Amino acid sequence: MSTAWTSRYAQRTKGLKSSAIRELLKITQNPEIISFAGGLPAPDVFPTARFQEACRNVLERNAHQALQYGATEGYEPLRQMIARHIARYGIKAQTDNVLITSGSQQALDLIGKLLINPGDRVLVEAPTYLGALQAFNVYGAEYVSVLSDQDGLRTDLLDKPLRSGPKFMYVLPNFQNPGGTTLSAGRRHELVLQADRYGIPIIEDDPYGQLRYEGEHLTPLVVLDRENLRRDDGYSIGNVIYLSTFSKTLAPGIRLGWIVAPPEVIAKLVQLKQGADLHTSTFTQMVAYEVAKDNFLDEHVKLIRKVYRERRDVMLESLKQYFPPEVTWTHPQGGLFLWVTLPEGMSCQKLFQVALKENVAFVPGDSFYAPNGFTEEASRHFRLNFSYGQPEQIREGIRRLSVAVKHQMEELHAVAH
């Protein structure tokens, strides 16, 4: 007899499905289509020449180390650099607070592995990052969703969800994916206080924090938490684990993210990472260090901000110019995305089909909600990416999209009458 593999799959794979976005990306690879669906950085701002130089230096000077097995914790100088780098935001981390991960997605996977027992509830924003849901689902997570608005997670709605005893909260305070919204200073304080009151830890995911195009940088939750706990012993303890990545500031193709956490948590995550992939590529870590060092990263981030800010502005202007007044959208102060809200009765899924005919694509909003989290709400939204396309493509894409939107609105009115 031959084995039926499917009959042998573990319980946790039930209901597992491919990310809607990754499936979408396949559809939208048609070059005729202007796609706002991906979350891709602009390749024209990749620091290619600097990567060339870095590869040459690493392989000339340190090939034996770069091509060999390395420590699970990560390449020591890179960990030190990250600790120094985040100190400017008030995060008092030492090297042993930092674990290098194979992209920020692995950080989410390791967090899920570390904390989630089947049936545990995770408190998430509605909408939230779907990659986090994918990472947590496999460990049997269930969800408590809390709505967000222009100022991020609605902390006034937190009390009951927190009383239900979630294992942890997962939040993206800066230029949220998909919402494009930023958690206000007041709500940050409130969130940290409430987390402390109920003893619920926070996972603070901050992939876009450095990509701010206007306004003042707001204090990270991990810092507010330490202030709240009146700790001045550095980052020895706290309610918050902080995640970030080089994917949006250097390049996603090198798959480098990191976790900042108390040393005891890092030690446990290291054990889990040993079993998961031994360690992240020594070579890409050393190359990234070589690329980022001597303040190159800071200078490069300034360039990215300039380019993305222009693209955001073009998208905002085009939306204003072409879209009917019944449609609204967020005004992101940074990041890669904005979030559109359709009038009541309209469906982002139906719109998606019409938009494809107009050769333009986006991600329908319902991908970004946890199971049972505001399904009706979900159907009126979609996400637009403004980092990837050239300004003229963005303008043309939004024009096409407006045609699809108007078409759908007319149809809806026709049915109503």
Instruction: Map the footprint of a copy of itself across residues 217-256, applying CB under 8 A.
Output: 229, 237-239, 247, 251-255
Q: Residue for token digits 């159907």?
A: 379
CB nearer to a copy of itself: pick between 3 and 295: 3
CB nearer to a copy of itself: pick between 329 and 369: 369
DSSP-derived 3-state class of residue 383: strand
What residue type is 406 in one-letter code? K
Q: Taking the complex as a whole, how short is the minimal distance between the CB of residue 331 and a copy of itself, in angstroms?
A: 26
CB nearer to a copy of itself: pick between 279 and 395: 279
134 φψ region: left (φ > 0), alpha (ψ -120 to 50), beta (else)? alpha
For residue 45, give the nearest of 412, 416, 390, 393 by alpha carbon. 390
DSSP-derived 3-state class of residue 46: coil
* Of positions 13, 150, 321, 375, contacts a copy of itself by CB under 8 A: 13
> If you ran DSSP here, which 8-state letter would residue 175 be given?
S
**Residue 301 binds a copy of itself (CB under 8 A):** no
Binding to a copy of itself in span 325-364, by CB under 8 A = none
CB nearer to a copy of itself: pick between 285 and 318: 285
Chain centroid offset of residue 222 CA: 17
* Of positions 36, 38, 380, 409, contacts a copy of itself by CB under 8 A: 38
Tell me the window of 129-137, 148-156, 347-355, 405-413 that interacts with a copy of itself (CB under 8 A): 129-137
**Are 75 and 100 within 8 A, CB to CB?**
yes
* Of positions 27, 30, 63, 320, contacts a copy of itself by CB under 8 A: 63
Q: Taking the complex as a whole, how short is the minimal distance between the CB of residue 182 and a copy of itself, in angstroms?
A: 24
DSSP for 76-103 reads: HHHHHHHHHHHHTTT----GGGEEEESH
The strand pair at 360-361 and 34-35 is best described as: parallel
**Residue 69 binds a copy of itself (CB under 8 A):** yes
Distance between CA atoms of residues 332 and 236, nearest Å? 34
Binding to a copy of itself in span 94-113, by CB under 8 A = 102-103, 105-106, 108-109, 113
Q: Residue for token digits 């809200």?
A: 341
**Residue 178 binds a copy of itself (CB under 8 A):** no
**Residue 68 binds a copy of itself (CB under 8 A):** yes
Distance between CA atoms of residues 402 and 18, nearest Å? 29
CB nearer to a copy of itself: pick between 237 and 403: 237
Q: Taking the complex as a whole, how short is the minimal distance between the CB of residue 99 and a copy of itself, in angstroms?
A: 13
CB nearer to a copy of itself: pick between 244 and 318: 244
